[in-house]
Amino acid sequence: MGRTWRGPAKKPAYVRTGVIEMGLKAFKYVARSTMHGGAFWEAGDMSQVGGEWVVRNGRVEWGHRMPDTAGHMSAEEIWDVVKFRRDEEGDTLVGKGIIRAGPPLEIANLRLAQTSNLLGVDIPTPAISWAYSIPSTRQQQSWCQQTYILRLRNWPLSGGVNASSSADSYTVVGPKTHRTENIPWPKAFPPIRSSYKYELSVEALLAECGSPSDHWDFGTPEGDSLVASEASSESLKEKIIGGGYSSDAITAPSKLNFEAGIVGGIDAWRKKVPVVKMITTPWDLENWEISKPVTLLKNTYNFKSKPWAARIHATAFGIYKIVINGKQVGDSIMEPQWTEYKERVLYQTYDVTDLLQRGENDVIVHVADGWYRGRMGPTVKDLVAVRGFFGNETGFMAIFDTYGSEGGKTRKTFWTGPTNETGWKCTRSTPIVDSGIYDGEHYDARVDFNTVDEKDQSDNGWQSVKVIPYAFAAGSSQKLQAPIAPPIQCTQKLPVKTYLKSPDGKTIVDFGQNIAGRLRLRGTAPAGTKITLVHVEVLKPDGTPNTSILRDAKCTDSYTFRGSGANGSNIEEWEPDFTFHGFRYVQVHPWIEGLELEAKVYGSNLPRVLSGFQSTNKELNRLAENIEWSARANFFAVPTDCPQRDERLGWTGDINVFSPTAVYIFDCQTFLDSYLSGVKDSMKIGGRHSAPIISPNVFKNITRSHSARAVWSDVLVTLPWTLYQAYGDTNLLRDLYPSMVDYHTNGIPKIPGGEFAGLWQDVAQYGDWLNPSSPPDQPAQLGTDTTFVADSWLCRITDVLAGVATALQLPEDAKEWSSKAAKVKAAWRSKWFMPPGNSTSGEPPKIINQDTQTAYSMALEYNILPEEYIKPAIARLHYLVRAQNYHPTTGLVGGASILHAVSHPRTLPSSKATLEDKLGSVALAYKLLLGRRDFPSWLYPITMGATSIWERWDSIRPDGTSNADWMTSLNHYALGAVGRWIYENVGGITIDMGRDSKGGFTGAWKFIFDPIPSVEHGITSSNMEFKSPKGVVGCKWSYDQVTKTMSIEVAVPGNSEGEIRVVGRTVKKVGAGKWSVQTKLKEKEWKLLEAGEGEQGHSKPSQRQ
């Protein structure tokens, strides 16, 4: 045989790709198309076995030699493959196979952008988002979404099991757009209606990319024009191709089902059931100031038939759990979660169809104090914990719809209200004898309410419930809404890793990981045996539980066994219902033979988008794991500071600095949207122009908690901006923009006139909280001047407000804010710049009169410095890092910026930064991150066995004792804000969202892949996968020190593009698909990389600044 054959058929219309189904090793093959009326042979050399292939311009190419402009294989085509082995004797046939078309590009993660809960939606017009898969075939790099068709079908839940067959249908065609995020609910679609089911589908059309056209007439941006329900994607394809927009187009469909709750808040509830009431026990107010047994409510319903559908809509003052016929409703805990209850209470919708039966059905409800009435806030220094901050009376309210319980399509509705009207009753006979979030839960299994006589009306019998008359009273501002954030659920289970003994002989179990969650036990014991469980994060050096850092929180659960017979032969299982703990160790006393224990990890179940991160540096991997674990532990209804001591509060400063890292770990959109709604609610309650320092606010001194503090109060501006940059959603910006303006204009106490006009007045600030030089009992002192931190953040938020106004297409506002930003920066420079001539010989000159790492980091990262001062500021910052012997001297605020500031030359054009500047700055950043293992450093906690991020750089001292028991936590994510630098520089993935000429979000995303090795610290490869809002993005790279070759493999989702860089220089621009490059570094590049930072020989000052 010859080496190339061509049959008489014309060349296929499309370039083809596919997946090979034959694994024979060979060095040559030929392929024959089965389409287009005849044989068409093509041949090429093969460099590897398996993987993807492409035919283009008469050549078959493999692996890393893929051409940049590959297309796709049509779904109906099959290619024959004949393989040959080439040797000295010629070509030898070794096998045959076929190549089939891979699956088409798929829509992934079709979702309602503004809620994570698809059962109980009550947003009338929710925005819609979707993403794309990584193409299985090689897409042209200009292959993007051109338009889309949205279809909606809806039908009432009451319509029966086959109601979907007669659903109403609506179809709209979108505009020409690449955008897939936060698509507005089309005006032509009806608003969401209570108790309706919905089927939403999108069919997107993709073709060669181009700028949105003024002549595109397929639809309107708002989707306000209905089209025929049979609107065909094929006709749109023809229009795209026929109009010259593309030579080809493909479609990608997807569907999403969801169901509405009760839309319209408390008014809609009362329209549905005018007499629905919040109920409680007659004794609920007795001694409410102290913790007591959990409220137990009961009702029994008799059904003629098993319902074919049933829903419960429920809420509470407190936290509740519903049990139907002995089984818990839902798999979430601590509902309705934590909000500013005086302004907003959440309700949940449950599908309880499978829990119901014909005949008698028992519904049991437990209501605990929770965040609503329980003890909240720390008792430390001048702060005193408060009980009943949101209210002193717990209660439960629900509407219960059954369909078919009376036969046929009948709907029967039940609700909470007076006993003589609804049948609800209550009893003091409850096994949960005490429960609190801080102190724990105590359960006596010997108490069985099921044995209470239904006719017993004694104190321990069944009594009539009491109605809470003021709940959602007419004229109240209190809202009732469905949650938009994910529920709190068990996300992982951990077995006991090690069994230990304390000095006094008590058993301590170690789960090997610091978590937020609860313990589940399984065992047997004689009736009345009480087992006590003390939860702690760390043991003291003598091996006893370190409870001192818990402050006033007991963190203790207990279980009293029910037993069976003399030896308690029946196995009992239990975990608490209304508490959670931050722990790694649990002291179990007394130890019971055969007891089984597991730790259940709980938290708000946000989608985890960081699918994986690994490098060749084990300590860096552990640091990345610790960051993720602390985020998981503290994203618990709201973003909290810690999960263990008597605090667990939504501190605004912590999430403000951590959020740019958080969006790489979780899909935070709905969780942080919900939190910011609470911040806005808190402002109303405080009656102030600034956000509170914690939200929900539980500080008794409202004035103090709402006094403006930079960084913490700035959350109202910078956190929405972070979310916009991550998800492209202007809805939140639009909602909060008036509050942002009010805060900047009226909330910040500014200097009224003079040279420093417009800067912060000298008021109390938290500054660079917990910097290493701060005394243990004065975490805001020393280090960088707190007013400097405030003024620097003022420059930042003023710039951000200009960006917000631009994104909202408010050009006059944007112009005004830009002008204000220039004035604020000018005043900043007047106040904080050093006069010339204050430098020590041999040192880079001092630019700022706060000569600290934090000061220079903020000045560089917040774009405050004039251009001519940038390089001197970088030089001074680098000097300070080396002078401190590569130890960070930053606190919570500076720590989030310092690595970006140190490596700032990477962001500068080549005309302003040499290759030595760029790679040298990254080497210095690596040294700061990984070069030290003693205090203070990011690796010091890891050397001490940390499995989460600590609050302080030295929460545990080298001798094992805890530092500052009054305020130290081993699970605080704030110092983990360094994660973003790790993901971008080691993982190698940075997002560059497209903007139009007006600064608006176009939907065109570019992923920059630019990992930098650190031979000095053993980082010669990494693998990271990240589920972005556009779809899954991956970057796998390695550096070969022998060949001096950088190999990078990337994955780019559909409707996106990528840019692969090697040590900062662009080597390949790619479209959707999987791509790889191998680049041999230039001598100068590899020498700089391998040299790293080294030891620069600077002496360490006696006191860190």
Residue 88 confidence (pLDDT): 52
Query: Is 1034 buried (19+), middle (13-18) or exposed (0-12) by CB count in 10 A?
Result: buried
Residue 996 confidence (pLDDT): 54
Mean pLDDT of 495-512: 98
When comparing pLDDT for 1074 and 224, which is higher? Answer: 1074
* pLDDT tens per residue, range 633-653: 999 999 999 999 999 999 999
Q: Which amino acid is at 243?
A: G
The answer to which of 213-227, 575-589, 827-841, 923-937 has the lowest mean pLDDT is: 213-227
The answer to which of 88-102, 276-290, 419-433, 437-451 has the lowest mean pLDDT is: 88-102
Model confidence at 40: pLDDT above 50: no
Residue 46 confidence (pLDDT): 37
Question: Given the structure tokens 């975490």, which residue do they identify?
Answer: 779
Model confidence at 26: pLDDT above 60: no
Model confidence at 372: pLDDT above 50: yes
| pLDDT band (50, 70, 90) for residue 222 | low
When comparing pLDDT for 79 and 806, which is higher? Answer: 806
* Cβ atoms 1029, 993 nearer than 8 A: no
The string of DSSP letters for 723-770 reads: HHHHH--HHHHHHHHHHHHHIIIIIS-B--SSTTTTSBPS-----STT
Model confidence at 42: pLDDT above 50: no
The answer, as to whether pTM is greater than 0.85, is: yes
DSSP-based three-state secondary structure for 634: helix
Mean pLDDT of 155-178: 88
Most confident among 79-83, 144-148, 165-169, 866-870 (mean pLDDT): 866-870
Looking at every residue in the chain, the average pLDDT score rounds to 87
The answer to which of 197-211, 213-227, 522-536 has the lowest mean pLDDT is: 213-227
Compute φ and ψ for 805, nearest 5 degrees: -60, -40
Model confidence at 943: pLDDT above 90: yes
Count CB neighbours of 545 within 10 A.
21
* pLDDT tens per residue, range 753-788: 999 999 999 999 999 999 999 888 788 778 999 999
Compute φ and ψ for 117, nearest 5 degrees: -115, 115
Model confidence at 747: pLDDT above 80: yes
Residue 93: C-alpha distances to residues 732, 873, 1087 (Å)? 64, 67, 47
Model confidence at 796: pLDDT above 60: yes
| pLDDT band (50, 70, 90) for residue 842 | confident
When comparing pLDDT for 347 and 238, which is higher? Answer: 347
Structure tokens at 918: 């760029």
Structure tokens at 671: 């969780």
All structural domains of the chain? 16-100 (no CATH), 107-260 (2.60.40.10), 265-481 (2.60.120.260), 488-604 (2.60.120.260), 649-748 (no CATH), 995-1091 (2.60.420.10)
| pLDDT band (50, 70, 90) for residue 794 | very high
| pLDDT band (50, 70, 90) for residue 570 | confident
Mean pLDDT of 514-536: 98
Mean pLDDT of 1-29: 33
| pLDDT band (50, 70, 90) for residue 96 | very low
Count CB neighbours of 507 within 10 A.
17
DSSP-based three-state secondary structure for 467: strand
When comparing pLDDT for 958 and 1100, which is higher? Answer: 958
When comparing pLDDT for 345 and 249, which is higher? Answer: 345
| pLDDT band (50, 70, 90) for residue 745 | very high
Contacts of 297 by beta carbon, 8 Å cutoff, 6+ apart: 279, 281, 364, 365, 366, 367, 396, 424, 425, 426, 465
Question: Given the structure tokens 């040499």, which residue do they identify?
Answer: 914
Structure tokens at 81: 């493959």
| pLDDT band (50, 70, 90) for residue 72 | very low
| pLDDT band (50, 70, 90) for residue 308 | very high
Model confidence at 447: pLDDT above 70: yes
Model confidence at 139: pLDDT above 90: no
Model confidence at 527: pLDDT above 50: yes
Q: Report the alpha-carbon distance of residue 628 to residue 623 in Å, rounded.
A: 9
Structure tokens at 1020: 């010669």
Q: Which of 437, 266, 262 minimizes the C-alpha distance to 344?
A: 266
Model confidence at 25: pLDDT above 80: no
